Amino acid sequence: MSISLSRQAALTLTQQLAERLAERIHTRLLPAGARLPSVRECARQQGVSPYTVVAAYDLLQAQGLVEARPQRGFFVRDFVQNPLPAQEKKAQAAIKVDSTQEAPQGLAPGSRINASMLIRGMFVESVAGKPQPGAGVLPAEWLDAGFLVAAMRKVTSGQALRESLVRYGEPMGDSSLREALARRLQRIGIAAVPSQIITTMGATQALDIVSRALLQPGDPVMVEEPGWAVEYARLAAMGMRVLPVPRGPEGPDMAVMQRYCETMAPKLYVSVSVLHNPTGYSLSAASAHEVLQMAQRYGFYVVEDDSYCHIAPDHAPRVTVLDRLQRSIYISGFAKVLVPNWRLGYLAAPPDLVERLLDTKLLSTLSTPTPMEQALALCMEQGQLRRHAERLRQHLAKARTRSVALAQAAGCRFVAEPAGMFGWVDTGVDTEVLTQHLLDEGYMIAPGAMFHASRRSSTCMRINFATTQDAAFWRVFERVVARMRMQA
């Protein structure tokens, strides 16, 4: 995303600067409400005159992308809360900086819960050519699973391919995969049979199916905070009332959950119980028991998102192990460890919810891709997936050791004990401001504000241990943080 201004370019410096900022606004890398640098600071950063910056800001204002606030500066407009008046829309339509750029697709511009920033961060590496600290996936070279390609060739050879292409797959998902998943769940202590398992297009779709099947707009849903930005955004977009529950090392804040249950009557509690994103915390057995007691007393369901199960210990406490799928729903997938682009996931549910969840799946996708599911089942049956996951755990352990040392040497403090794929670190500076400075250097981080249901300033950021082993990033980080502190 870093675009240097050039005096030899076809566009003027004013147009280049406006284009650069407009791109960040459109892609939500500059979220609604974000303050642009002061004219003097922006001129210093870009090596241009203040007059160039003023002209660029005026151009962005004419396009309706920013607004000037007296005595405060320029801010990114909130397109959801403050839509453009008709006359401004007409003026905006007449002004273009670069007609070759298509408007990015995704969440509505100005979304307060800027989950698209993290999602788009998954694709930054291919643009910037360097590992991205805020990435949500493992490096591609770690996921080079040739065994899956071989399995795909086997299940699509000859007549098998024709059979899988000319008809829809099984509504609940391929039976061989559901049998393999049932055996996998039983190994980690979850008593599920194939008839309780529904395959999905990734864990995210499984979460969406549960929400659509069990909730109505306006229903209150408890979520962990800090937590997954995409889940906040997804629930809010569906019209749910998001109730943040502070997450600690042992589990959720039970006193907060109790108050919600007594006053709000929540319908669901969504939890990443093992290797929590972003902290890396894992639920204790005592907390899991308390959560279940509360769910039974107040009648809500616990949705356990176990997306990191393949890099977590099998014996880690899980709500669904204790509950035996009575008031809990288990969700997982394979995007983190195998094939991000294949979108393979599943859910396991209480028997009395299966038909309702299946109906919701059928209404949204009809079926899931049989050849991919059959190939995955074959890899599970032959033990290849298990051996691949063991190699990933070894890679992560080495990466985590190196990343932790580099982060601490750069002055960061780990808020939570480093574990799993992500680290939750305190930088000592506002990480939303830090994000914009690091974007200028070609690095995208995941600022702490994005992991809170109600956006607020934070000095924390989430790092991916696999993509923060590069000392070059931490040298840039130290330089930028030092400059921010001098300017404070």
199-240 tens-digit pLDDT:
999 999 999 999 999 999 999 999 999 998 888 888 988 999
Specify the CATH number of the domain 1-112. Answer: 1.10.10.10
pLDDT at 14 (0 to 100): 84
* Structural fold of domain 146-382: Aspartate Aminotransferase; domain 2 (3.40.640)
Asked whether 151 and 167 are in contact (CB, 8 A), the reply is no
pLDDT at 449 (0 to 100): 87
The torsion of the CA quartet 253, 256, 257, 259, rounded to 10 degrees, works out to 160
* Confidence tier at 120 by pLDDT (50, 70, 90): low
What share of the chain has pLDDT > 70, as a percent?
86
What share of the chain has pLDDT > 90, as a percent?
56
**How does pLDDT run across 383-432, given as a tens digit for each residue?**
999 999 999 999 999 999 999 999 999 999 999 999 999 999 999 999 98
Lowest mean pLDDT among 123-132, 139-148, 370-379: 123-132
Mean pLDDT over residues 36-53, rounded?
84
**How does pLDDT run across 151-192, given as a tens digit for each residue?**
988 888 876 666 666 678 899 999 999 999 999 999 999 999
* Structural fold of domain 114-136+383-488: Aspartate Aminotransferase, domain 1 (3.90.1150)
Is the pLDDT assigned to residue 33 strictly greater than 60? yes
- Distance of alpha carbon 413 from the chain centroid: 23
Q: Residue 159, class by beta-carbon neighbours within 10 Å (0-12 exposed, 13-18 middle, 19+ buried)?
A: exposed
167/183 Cα distance (integer angstroms): 27
**Which tokens belong to 23?**
């791109």
pLDDT at 156 (0 to 100): 84
Q: Residue 119, class by beta-carbon neighbours within 10 Å (0-12 exposed, 13-18 middle, 19+ buried)?
A: middle
pTM value?
Answer: 0.81
* Confidence tier at 114 by pLDDT (50, 70, 90): low
pLDDT at 435 (0 to 100): 83
* Confidence tier at 131 by pLDDT (50, 70, 90): confident
**How does pLDDT run across 241-259, given as a tens digit for each residue?**
999 999 999 999 999 999 9
Q: How far is CA 77 from CA 24, 55, 163, 283, 410, in A?
A: 13, 18, 52, 40, 35
β partners of residue 204: none
* Confidence tier at 86 by pLDDT (50, 70, 90): very low
Is the pLDDT assigned to residue 30 strictly greater than 80? yes
270/257 Cα distance (integer angstroms): 12
Is the pLDDT assigned to residue 13 strictly greater than 80? yes
Domain boundaries, the chain: 1-112, 114-136+383-488, 146-382
Is the pLDDT assigned to residue 2 strictly greater than 60? no
pLDDT at 106 (0 to 100): 27
The torsion of the CA quartet 194, 198, 202, 204, rounded to 10 degrees, works out to -130
DSSP reduced 3-state for 2: coil
**How does pLDDT run across 329-350, given as a tens digit for each residue?**
999 999 889 878 888 999 999 9
Handedness of CA 125, 131, 135, 140 (dihedral sign): positive
pLDDT at 4 (0 to 100): 67
Asked whether 219 and 240 are in contact (CB, 8 A), the reply is yes
Instruction: Compute how many other C-beta atoms are within 10 angstroms of the C-beta atom of residue 472.
Output: 11
185/310 Cα distance (integer angstroms): 12
Please give the residue that has the higher pLDDT: either 486 or 300: 300
* Confidence tier at 115 by pLDDT (50, 70, 90): low
Is the pLDDT assigned to residue 108 strictly greater than 90? no
Is the pLDDT assigned to residue 72 strictly greater than 50? yes
Is the pLDDT assigned to residue 458 strictly greater than 70? yes
pLDDT at 413 (0 to 100): 97
Residue 314 DSSP label: T
β partners of residue 423: 463
Is the pLDDT assigned to residue 90 strictly greater than 80? no
